[in-house]
Chains A and B, each alone.
Chain A
Amino acid sequence: MTVKIEAKDLTKVYPSRNGPICALRDFSLRVEEGEFVCIVGPSGCGKSTFLRILGGLITPSSGRVELFPRDEKAPLQNIVFQEYAIFPWKTVLDNVAFGLEMRGVPRTKRRETARDWIRKVGLAKFADAYPHQLSGGMKQRVSIARAFANDPEILLMDEPLGALDAQTRVILQGELVRLWEASRKTVVYITHSIEESVLLGDRIVLMTAHPGTYKTEFSVPFARPRSFELTGAPEFARLSYAIWQELEVEVKRTMEKQL
């Protein structure tokens, strides 16, 4: 196995009116190529900050992070944002083709690729629609297709299904698992749903309450391809519960601080 992501002692401190706030403290993580790593933690634990550091949107206050490209010309990483990050002023087709357009891929070629991915996420009939004509689940499919169409080596997913209702979420989890298993890209997946992380991930990293840092990790032994059926298995419930036992104390600490 080759190392794809190496983060060492990452700390991010934000200035604020009430003095500096430490969003992330001494966080280290190594991700192998082709691995699907889920990061789970209570809200405000800095998991989104970590993802944005990986995505090059935030520079850490200290520590270092390295992503190892296989192909220098291909895009290295892209973020799958939540649904509201797709551009309302672009059609579904132009949203999905966005990364390709920024890289200067010719119009016919990028439209062809985008249409292909729009079809794969089941939105073929909506290629020329604008986002306001779509439901939340459909918008999230656009956001996922936008990242896959750009074909980066690493996918960074920032609670991509967090804003969806429970039923739509189950459908999209299934689709995401299927898309990923076909491509086997390296994935860092932020979520606060334990079930989602067990269903999707190869490895689950838990973070502590604020200021967030590494707490512990679990490896997920279930065979692939996986589907929602897995959530009915006793081993699935046992692993989810074991993770919850570790996480519970952190969640309670977070809640106490908010009171």
Chain B
Amino acid sequence: MSGSCWRMASCTRDRLISVFFPLALLALWEMAVRLQWLDGRFFPAPTAVAAALWELTVKGELLGKLWLLPGLVAAGDFSGARKVFAEGHLWVSLFRIFSGFFVGAVPGIILGVVMGMNRTIRVALDPVVSAVYVLPKIAILPLVMLVFGIGEVSKIVIVAIASFFLVLINTTVGVRDIEPIFIEAGRNYGANRRQMFRHIIIPAALPIIFSGLRLSLGTSLIVIIAAEFVAANYGLGYLIWFSWQTLLTENMFAGLVVIMILGALFTSGLQALERRLMPWQREEMPASADGADVGGTGKV
């Protein structure tokens, strides 16, 4: 991302640089492999990675055998249609990330608000939360598998646990750090409990809650890839791990590229959602000096 640019000319220049420099790097990489400065077995050329990506897609490994879908749906075979998605590494990982994220984030927000508001509950839970928070979540994967088995549930649970604590801690901080004057204003103007939540506590804490969501979505991606390395037959993590074991380095790099694209999409998706939900956070210059139209002030 190029930073803010004010003048049109420097704006275009920034954009050109930000596009051409990475392209130049890729070209350099390609050249280095072709001239055999780099070992193509370990660092396959960008064109080889692109070819592998294409190959994975058309063979139905990455996205499943999508071309079978119309026929299956027409035949009313919905379990067959579901199986198509269940065999695509990308869909499998996405499903685990989003269901785990959702299952973790929603209770995280709710308990976070409660902990932010209620001193007793906060004091009681704080040590437990802090202790579990510092634990790398992937470290408890064996325990989770012991409890939930080696199927889908374990992967969703591990993502949910990781999301839960990040969202919980951020929400608690967000609610605790609300300026007391906003609460006072709410009380003085007669807000009841429900109105206090809706009009003051939630919107005031929303920016910090969102930074918790952003962090936990990023962490979900890390956790699911790591979990799929060791305990899965599908998923992007499995794709990378399996490609390494069979020395298909092009496929390994193809997996990395997909993960990079996912990360970028998550970030920009959340940013778009933030702009929609918090229009008051949009960067804009304040009105100059005191721009109120004093002239238009009518007599009372």
Tell me the A residues contacting B by CB distance below 8 Å.
Answer: 52, 55-57, 75, 77-79, 81-82, 84-90, 98-99, 101-103, 119-126, 129-138, 141, 146, 150, 168, 171, 175, 178-179, 182-183
Are the CB atoms of A133 and B182 closer together than 8 Å?
no
Tell me the B residues contacting A by CB distance below 8 Å.
Answer: 179, 181-182, 184-192, 195, 199-200, 203-204, 206, 278-282, 284-300
Are the CB atoms of A126 and B287 closer together than 8 Å?
yes
Are the CB atoms of A79 and B185 closer together than 8 Å?
yes
Are the CB atoms of A134 and B286 closer together than 8 Å?
yes
Docked Cα-Cα span, A85 to B179, in Å, equals: 9
Are the CB atoms of B287 and A135 closer together than 8 Å?
yes
- A-side contacts of B288, CB under 8 Å: 135
B279 nearest CB neighbor, chain A only: A130
**10 shortest interchain CB distances as A-B pairs:** A182-B300, A89-B203, A137-B290, A122-B297, A130-B280, A99-B189, A122-B292, A85-B181, A102-B190, A89-B280
Docked Cα-Cα span, A129 to B286, in Å, equals: 10
Docked Cα-Cα span, A77 to B190, in Å, equals: 10
Beyond A89-B280, A130-B279, whether A57 also contacts B300 by CB under 8 A is no
Are the CB atoms of B184 and A122 closer together than 8 Å?
no
Docked Cα-Cα span, A121 to B156, in Å, equals: 55
Docked Cα-Cα span, A98 to B182, in Å, equals: 12
- B-side contacts of A99, CB under 8 Å: 189-190
B283 nearest CB neighbor, chain A only: A132
Q: How many residue pairs at the A-B interface have CB separations less than 8 Å?
A: 116
CB proximity of B201 to chain A, nearest CB, Å: 11
CB proximity of A144 to chain B, nearest CB, Å: 12
Beyond A81-B181, A119-B296, A119-B298, whether A133 also contacts B287 by CB under 8 A is yes
- A-side contacts of B282, CB under 8 Å: 130
CB proximity of A120 to chain B, nearest CB, Å: 6
Are the CB atoms of A131 and B292 closer together than 8 Å?
no
CB proximity of B291 to chain A, nearest CB, Å: 6
Beyond A87-B203, A135-B289, A135-B290, whether A120 also contacts B284 by CB under 8 A is no
Beyond A121-B297, A130-B279, whether A81 also contacts B184 by CB under 8 A is yes
Docked Cα-Cα span, A87 to B189, in Å, equals: 13
Are the CB atoms of A141 and B292 closer together than 8 Å?
yes
B189 contact from A78, A126, A178, A182, Cβ within 8 A: A78
- A-side contacts of B204, CB under 8 Å: 87, 89
Are the CB atoms of A138 and B292 closer together than 8 Å?
yes
Docked Cα-Cα span, A98 to B199, in Å, equals: 9
